[in-house]
Amino acid sequence: MKKKTPLAQGYILEETENTVVIATGFLRPSQNTGTGPMIQVYILYRHSNPVSATYSGADKHICGDCKLRGTIVDGKLVGRECYLNLHESVTSVWDCYERGNYPYLPKSEYPRVFRDRRTRIGTYGDGAFIQDDEIIPLIASSSKKWTGYTHQWVNRPDLSRWLMASVDSPTEQVRAKLAGWRTFRVSPYGNSARMLGEIVCPKSDEAGNLTTCHDCCLCDGKRGNTDARKDIVIQKHGRLAMQALARASKLVQIQTV
């Protein structure tokens, strides 16, 4: 009888020259209050911790041309707007990987390990940079439900079945829709306008935190041309929202002087 992989907190799903894909949360659920207790799939740069990778520009290996990652100008990181705090869970996962604490999970074990789980593909990093094309469909088919997003929707139309197109403007939203995607659009903080066919993310602050990603799972791609489900919009949140508030506060102070 073939020996089963022992259940662990996290597993390596793929290692390449520059990236590693890790799924966590199998023993101790994620404490992320927004997503709820989903299995979290990280795509990480292998050769340095996430903070160093971001400041060196090496995060291009797992984020590509995402507008939120910022750019390196004269050796300095400028314009980063990603809402993720790299000093918390992302770095903890990389540290655990660096210590060799995650076993490798064979694809034959996905149906057993992901069974009845709800999985978030791309907690950090873009799912389009998972190089084995079988991994995302297998995670989705093995999980009870899943969510996932990609900024690489122009170049990866093959992923529209499983992932949402992450778009950052109304123009991008229209382009992605015409290309056959369902979309997840981030709008400026305080902008409540919706495109045709969009609904406000139910777990967002502006929707009143009605649910969690774990219980919602609307962000799971598009089931062909007959899929008429709504697209999602959310205002910039987390650190991005705080930055917007700070800028607005400074503007008010200047105007009232």
The alpha carbons of the chain give a radius of gyration, in whole angstroms, of 19
pLDDT of residue 71: 79
Question: What's the pLDDT tens digit per position in 114-152?
Answer: 999 999 999 999 999 999 999 999 999 999 999 999 999
Q: What is the DSSP string of 88-124?
A: IIIHHHHHHHHTT---B--GGGHHHHSTT-EEEEEEE
Calculate what percentage of the chain has a pLDDT beyond 90.
71
Question: What's the pLDDT tens digit per position in 56-88?
Answer: 889 999 999 888 887 777 777 778 888 778 878
Q: Are 42 and 129 in contact (CB under 8 A)?
A: no
- Residue from 80, 44, 40, 76 nearest 59 by CA: 44
| 120 domain-assigned | yes
Q: Give, in order, the Cα–Cα distances in Å from 226 to each of 81, 208, 223, 231.
A: 35, 30, 7, 14
pLDDT of residue 255: 35
Can you give the residue range of the structural domain that contains 117?
Answer: 10-239
pLDDT of residue 242: 47
Residue 172 has φ and ψ, to the nearest 5°, of: -65, -35
Q: Does residue 229 or residue 191 have the better pLDDT?
A: 229
- Residue from 14, 3, 11 nearest 27 by CA: 11
Residue 105 CA to residue 113 CA, distance in Å, equals 9
Give the least confident one: 49-53, 165-169, 215-219. Answer: 49-53
| 252 domain-assigned | no
| 256 domain-assigned | no
| 5 domain-assigned | no
| 248 domain-assigned | no
| 30 domain-assigned | yes
Residues 6+ apart with CB under 8 A from 251: none
Give the least confident one: 19-23, 83-87, 171-175, 240-244. Answer: 240-244
| 255 domain-assigned | no
The tokens describing 165, both together, are 């197109």
| 245 domain-assigned | no
- Residue from 34, 68, 31 nearest 167 by CA: 68
160: pLDDT strictly greater than 60:
yes
First-last CA distance in the chain = 78
240: pLDDT strictly greater than 50:
no
Task: Give residue 239's pLDDT band: very low, low, confident or very high (50, 70, 90).
Answer: low
Question: What's the pLDDT tens digit per position in 98-114?
Answer: 999 999 999 999 999 99
The tokens describing 229, both together, are 């489900």
Q: What is the number of structural domains in the chain? A: 1
pLDDT of residue 192: 85
